[in-house]
Each structure stands twice: as structure tokens, then as C-alpha cells.
Structure 1
């Protein structure tokens, strides 16, 4: 599989989601969001997992938006804040209520330890792809050539350092959140050891 084999949806909602992510995310976080979609879509295509590409793409653009200053909530975990942003964005895009809810769910569930592919293919794919991109989980599930091509086109920049700082801050301020649990369970070390950075 090559990067050119990955279908990237070209809809008004997807273009607007990318434009919004470009406006608020750092270059590292933006590239991470783009890679999150690419890893997810590639994994699905290689395994014949049916998924809604537009929903997955929009959710990928917003899955970490709760980490940026403008949307960082002091009262809810960052993935829940991002889910709210996704819901509001989807409403503005004219999506029906159920589809807005799905966008929010996919964003929230990317932090889960596991998402059932049968119940939520988009959530399953985003959980796997972000696990690869942030902590280097299961890189063997993506061909080495594809990994190299994606990283060349959308470089990691400072995502390891930046994300480690963000997740530590979230864990300190919201110790009962999944971010807090991740920090206690050594996610910073896994980020630093990510094989994608070698």
C-alpha cells in the first residue's frame, strides 16, 4: 500500500475541518491530526473495514482540539471538550443531530483503551491510529514503506515533545481524567520511545 492508495474525502465539511485545524493547531498537532486520518484509513482499507470517510476525517481533525489554548477546558477532559467542538462544527456543517453525536463520540472514544470495530468502526480506527502516532503502538500493522511515505509528507516535527507536555498538564489539572491515568501509567515514556521518531 502507498500513500496514493489512501482515499482522502473531498467534501465541504472536510475542507472546512482542515481549515479550522490549520487555524488553531500548531504545525506539529496539525500534522498529527492528518496522520491520524491516514493511518486509520490505511488500516481500514488493508483489512476491508467499512467506514465513513467524511466522519472519520472530521473527527481526526478535531480529536485533539481540546488541547489547544482556545478550547482547553478546566472542567472536562480534553477529549470531551474536543467532542463538543466536533458537535458544534458538525451542526454548522448542517449535519443531522445523530451525525453530530457520532462525530463527538468518535473524538471522545479515541482515548479509550479499545473500541469495538463492529459497534463503532470510526472510533476503533481513530483509537488505533492515534495510539500508533503518539505512543508508537503496533507499528507493524502498517507497511514500513507507507510509514516512511506518510512521515515524509507529513513530518512529526515536535509532536512528541509537544504532546508529552500537553498530556502531563492535562493529567496534573484533571487527575481523574483518562489523561491523568495515561500519565500515571507511563505514557510520557512511551511517547519518548516512539519508533516513528527514529
Structure 2
């Protein structure tokens, strides 16, 4: 695997190749292509900002960031982000990766739907979220050239109905554990897709707690 897309080379280590195969075998085409695009947007952001980042760690973070949406890696009661982070941690441990690098990839995945925090952290963490935000929300869309956007999407296409489909994927991955959406953006997904969903309210939880005052 020596892909060079938009000037970014995909890591070609045994670990990176194994990660690609694992994700390819686990996720459908939409999530796989989305995850690959997240890597390229993250790497291009790092290049643009002059950040010193580890391409292989960024790749693992990008490729595993939505694994928690899949049945194979979904737990009954943890946030899907944590499920994906745990899957990546187990994978990295099997390759003897240093603990700080594992921690960075874990945090990158666990925090990728928590805006306003990852951008202030180490590059692996910041750039996974930057890649996700570009691909899903279009944040910093115009900071990428037409050529960069076209080249990445030529190799890893966005489906014609990607916007609706990615929301459906989010909903399908979390609909059985709605309590995991408290305080994160996935509450909006269930509010749109699940007519029985009741959004939790932070202030109501405070006021209804066991504390007498």
C-alpha cells in the first residue's frame, strides 16, 4: 500500500496494512471511505499548519474512529467513541506501541465528537478531529484546494447521499444506548432519527439529584 493522494502518502508499515484490512473487513464502504478521507484531511491540515505529527498514529486514529459504530466493536453501554478507542488501544498494544502513543490515539478517537477540546491537544488528537470535522461538517472546507478535495474524493468517494447516510450510520450505532448521548453531539442524531428518544437535560439531572439542596 503506497498510495499517494493529494500529496499525502498512506503509511506502509505492517501495522498500518493490518489496520486497513481490519477496518475494510469490519466496516461497510461508506464508513471505510469516510475513515480514509479523515486521514487525508487530518494530514493535510497538519501540513498546512506546520505541525509535526506521526503519520502512522494519525492513520490508526482515523481508521478506527468509527469502529464503535459496528456490531463487532459495540458495547452495550459505552459511548461509541470509547468503543472505537478501546478497539484501537487493543490493536496498538498487540504491536507493542509505546503507551503515550496509545494514549494519544485513544484520546483522539474518544474525543472526536467533543468540539473545542482536541484542537488544543497533541497533533494526533487534534488532527483526527480536524479530519472528522472537515469530512462530516465541512469545517475548514475552503482551506483545502479544489485539487486536494477532488483527488481525495476521487480515490475515496462520498456517496451521493453521504450526508443523510452518515447520520443513519450514527443513529444505527447508538440507538440501543441513548444514555450515551448525554452532553455530546449524538443527542442531535437521535432527536432526528428516533421518535421515541427523550433528550436528557443536564439541569434536570442536577435539580433531580439526591442532594437535598
- Report if TM-score (shorter chain) is over 0.5: yes
Query: What TM-score does the superposition give when structure 2 sets the normalisation length?
Result: 0.78
The separation in 1 between residues aligned to 2:113 and 2:152, in whole angstroms, is: 23
Answer yes or no: is the 8 Å Cα contact 1:117–1:123 preserved in 2. yes
Unaligned 5+ segments in structure 2 are 194-213
SS, match of residue 57 in structure 1: helix
Answer yes or no: is the 8 Å Cα contact 2:65–2:84 preserved in 1. yes
Shift of 1:179: 4.5
Aligned pair in 2 of structure 1 residues 71, 4: CA closer, same or farther (>3 Å)? same
The separation in 2 between residues aligned to 1:142 and 1:64, in whole angstroms, is: 23
Is 1:174 aligned to 2:196, yes or no? no
Query: What TM-score does the superposition give when structure 1 sets the normalisation length?
Result: 0.84
SS, match of residue 125 in structure 1: helix
- Quick check: which has more Rg, 1 or 2? 2
Is 1:165 aligned to 2:171, yes or no? no
Structure-2 residue corresponding to 1:190: none
The separation in 1 between residues aligned to 2:188 and 2:104, in whole angstroms, is: 24
Runs (4+) of structure 1 moved beyond 4 Å? Answer: 184-187
1:34-73 → structure 2 map (5 Å cutoff): 34-73=36-75
Task: Give the number of aligned pairs.
Answer: 186
Larger proportion of helix = 1
Unaligned 5+ segments in structure 1 are 188-198
The separation in 1 between residues aligned to 2:118 and 2:71, in whole angstroms, is: 31
Answer yes or no: is the 8 Å Cα contact 1:171–1:183 preserved in 2. no
